[in-house]
Structure 1
Amino acid sequence: MSGFLSQLRAFDAYTKPLEDFRVKTLIGGTVTLIATIVIILLAVSETASYLRTEIAEQLYVDSTTSDQRVDVNFDITFHKLPCPFITIDVMDVSSDNQDNIQDDIYKVRVDQHGNNMTAPNRIEVNQNKTGGVVEVTTTKCGSCYGALPDGSCCNTCEEVKDAYQMRGWQMNVETVEQCKNDPWVKLMTEYKDEGCRVYGKVQVAKVAGNFHMAPGDPHRTMRAHVHDLHSMDPTRFDCSHTIHHLSFGTHYPGKSYPLDGKQFATGTGVMYQYYVKVVPTQYVKLDHTTDESHQFSVTTHPKKLGQGVSGLPGVFVQYEFSPLMVQYTERRQALSDWLVSLCAIVGGVFTVASLIDSFIYSTQRVIEKKMQMNKLG
């Protein structure tokens, strides 16, 4: 056994000189201290890198089906458009249309400064549910306001509307005596100087389409989606608003929201259009769970109505889904890689420090010998 141990001793690559022959110098101590500090700093940096989660990005063709539903989350404050006038609709190229959505939608009355007001009782814009208005009982011959020949009588609001429609004129019900009991006129007076905060979510199919928030009673005629403003001038509605939040799908770490906190105020009679490009996104976490979501880019285009420019005041979000999908994957350095890096740091720094110490010590010895020879000479 002792012979084997003696042979094993011959393989020792780390020879140790006797203690009497070891020389400790001030330079050596300084180099060792600096090397130790460098090792600690590099080890801390490597450990921080090991603990840090990196995000790898890959691009794929989106293979999910178009019948998948996507949640659109929103929180928007209309500063000068009262709650009873706002309706929310969804339209898309597959004719999967949703008019006057009520589910998961919440409305809060706000004042001119954006402060919440006491919630009112539920009020319908169209109280009698018939699409008509309350008539004013009158026995005299009401004016047609120039829409019909002299001598013609318009005793109800509907008759005035019909007369204006025959002429192709735009009617302002607020100035017509027969329409003073129109529910919309009453609501406009009752909710004057009020705004509305609308928040919630709608579900849309993964096809091109739009969802919008606009005044009027939505309905369809000849496959067209229209809003009945009850003969009110579209340019009198002020749809200035602040977008507190707008997103497609669920949240994931690092997700950006381009429209959050944006305020748009350009006066009455403006159709605010947002052209949104939606990119399906997967976020794979370290535990291999996956969040299905979407990110988007947006271009804004406000359109001023009136003077031959048709449209509807409100907020219109035109969305289109990209055929490509982005996948983000969380990654962390392997434990074995971290250990190898630590060993490399310790070994490398001590090796370099040893070379520096040897060089300085050898140079110092040479200088000392030359100085001694000069003294002897």
Structure 2
Amino acid sequence: MAKKGGLLSFDAFSKTVEDARVKTTSGGLITVTCILTLFSLIINEWRQFNEITIDPELVVDRDRNLKLDINLDVTFPDLPCDIMSLDIMDVSGDLQLDVTNYGFTKIRLTETGEEIGEEEMKIGDDHGHADADIPADYCGPCYGAKNQDKNENKPQEEKVCCNDCDSVRKAYASVGWAFFDGKNVEQCEREGYVKKINDRLGEGCRVKGTAKLNRINGNIHFAPGASYSAPNRHVHDLSLYGKNKDFNFRHVINHFSFGPDVNSKYTAETLELSSHPLDGTNAIQGSRDHLYSYFLKVVPTRYEYLNGTKVETNQFSSTYHDRPLTGGRDEDHPNTFHARGGIPGLFFHFEMSPLKIINKETYGTSWSGFLLNVISAIGGILTVGAVVDRTVFVADKVIRRKKDK
């Protein structure tokens, strides 16, 4: 007999002669089952290999120079556009807004919710100036809200004038006087402001648009009347709101988000609710003297796609609270007492997180992982099939022997 040597001694796949092999019907059935199972596993591995997933990473936010985009669309069924103001403030008390990039639109609504028309809305001042023909030397009265007497000791100073309705309204707001609808104010009567306000008292309003802010804590709020800043406080003229008992700040939030929407299929299907938790919110409870507040925790988020595109946006969580301005005991929670005071309105208080989430699109499995899983599946199926086939074969032989006895 020839001596074995070389690579023959390393052969781990020893062969048997064809005559020593026994084929059975059960073995054929087990083989077909193994093949079908193997194909099913390989197809699942292929699907997982081509599946795109999001790999999140939490880091410290260093992009403080970026702006915070606020996108909102809110409907007020019981409040006319002309008596509502929109203010955006940060923790420093300043109006942090890039006026070249903001754009809010107010849409007038009928009592049934049908749209009448839309107008541009200015932040903190939603009334425009009328094109009224006035003499070049005209100096309108401020009705005592401002000192219009020229200072003889400072002849270089220009005389203070209120030439339009908006100037008178601001002058009243600066000293905290009630302006109401501007009736008997010469400038307002001339510009048609009084008639416009009274003709629209039964309307509703829808406000939508986008603003760019510095990424620091602050709030955006809707409140009635003109606003002005006083030492350590922010004040609104509530005179016209208080005069009409039908006004109310009940609202529907059609859309509210920070930053652009993501266009990933994964995020669109699984993160839609968490990205826009306020969409569809309907707050209809409460009286006219009611304060609605949403406290938002904003987390800067970046999405990095497989094609190299990067989208800077934000996610946020929301906590809701409302209370009557009269204060007192809560009807639903007897142990809770509401604070007294404040102004009726809708407030969104937002707080920026110091951390940032980076969501990277990745494939579920790499090529090496896919091949390894396929090879493992093949080896495992063949091993299990061999064990089952051997067990069935031995059991069949034992049963046959017992029958032959």
User: Structure 1 length as normaliser, TM-score?
Assistant: 0.75
Aligned to 1:40: 39
Mapped partners of 2:325, 2:97: distance in 1: 23
What is the CA deviation profile of residues 7-47 of structure 1, one whole-angstrom value per residue up to 9, with x for unaligned ones? 777848252532x5543321111111211121122222222
**Residues in 2 aligned to 1:45 and 1:226: alpha-carbon distance in whole angstroms:** 63
Q: Match for 1:74: what amino acid? A: L
Deviations along 1:215-255, one digit per CA (max 9) or x if unpaired, are 21223344643223456527843111100111111223224
Matched, 1:335 2:333: no
* SS in structure 1 of the partner of residue 381 of structure 2: helix
| Deviations 1:160-207, CA, capped at 9 Å, x for gaps | xxxxxxxx9x97958x99689877764443113311111111112111
Whether 2:289 is the aligned partner of 1:264: answer no
| Equivalent residue number for residue 285 of structure 1 | 305
Distance 1:268 1:128, change over 3 A: farther
Cα deviation digits, residues 278-298 of structure 1 (max 9, x gap): 112222323343322211112
Structure-2 separation of matches of 1:177 and 1:93: 37
Q: Which residue of 1 aligns with 2:249?
A: 239
Compute the displacement of 1:357 (Å): 0.8
Distance 2:219 2:397 in 1: 84
Residues of 2 paired with 1:110 and 1:131: CA distance? 34
For residues 309-324 of structure 1, what are the structure 2 equivalents within 5 Å?
Answer: 309-324=340-355
TM-superposed CA distance for 1:361, in Å, is 1.2
- The equivalent residue for 1:81 is 79
Distance, in Å, in 1 between the alignment partners of 2:98 and 2:204 is: 19
Alignment check: 8 A CA contact 2:58 2:358 kept: yes
- Are the structure 2 counterparts of residues 49 and 132 from structure 1 closer, same or farther at C-alpha, using a change threshold of 3 Å? farther
Aligned match of 2:62: 63
For the structure 1 residues 310 and 132, does the alpha-carbon distance in structure 2 shift closer, same or farther, using more than 3 Å as the test? farther
Normalising by the residue count of structure 2, what TM-score does the alignment of the two structures yield? 0.70
Question: Helix, strand or coil for the counterpart of 2:115?
Answer: coil
- In 2, Cα distance between the equivalents of 1:43 and 1:353? 17
Q: Give, as a single letter, the amino acid of the residue that structure 2 aligns with 1:201.
A: T
> What residue identity is the alignment partner of 2:321?
H
Q: Select between 51-60 and 209-218 the one with higher mean Cα deviation.
A: 51-60
Name 1:124's counterpart in structure 2.
127
Count of paired positions: 332
Q: Is the 8 A contact 2:98 2:213 kept in 1?
A: no
Change (3 A) 1:126 1:193: same
Structure 1 pair 214–234 and aligned structure 2 pair: CA distance change class (3 A): farther
Shift of 1:339: 1.2
Q: Which has the larger radius of gyration?
A: 1
Q: Which runs of 5+ in 2 are unaligned?
A: 133-139, 144-175, 328-338
Seen in structure 2, the aligned counterparts of structure 1 residues 113 and 16 have a Cα distance that, compared at 3 Å, is farther
Instruction: State how far apart, in whole Å, the 2-side matches of 1:201 and 1:131 are.
Output: 37
Q: What is the alpha-carbon distance in structure 2 between the residues aligned to residue 246 and residue 24 of structure 1?
A: 70
Match for residue 216 of structure 1 among 217, 220, 225: 225
Measure, in 2, the Cα distance between the counterparts of 1:131 and 1:272. 38
Relative to 1, partners in 2 of residues 1:232 and 1:51: Cα closer, same or farther, differing over 3 Å? closer
Task: Indicate yes or no: 2:330 matched with 1:298.
Answer: no
CA RMSD of aligned residues (A): 3.7
> Which segments of 5 or more consecutive residues in structure 1 lack a partner in the other structure?
1-5, 134-167
C-alpha distance after superposition, 1:265-287 (max 9, x if no partner): 22312222111111122223233
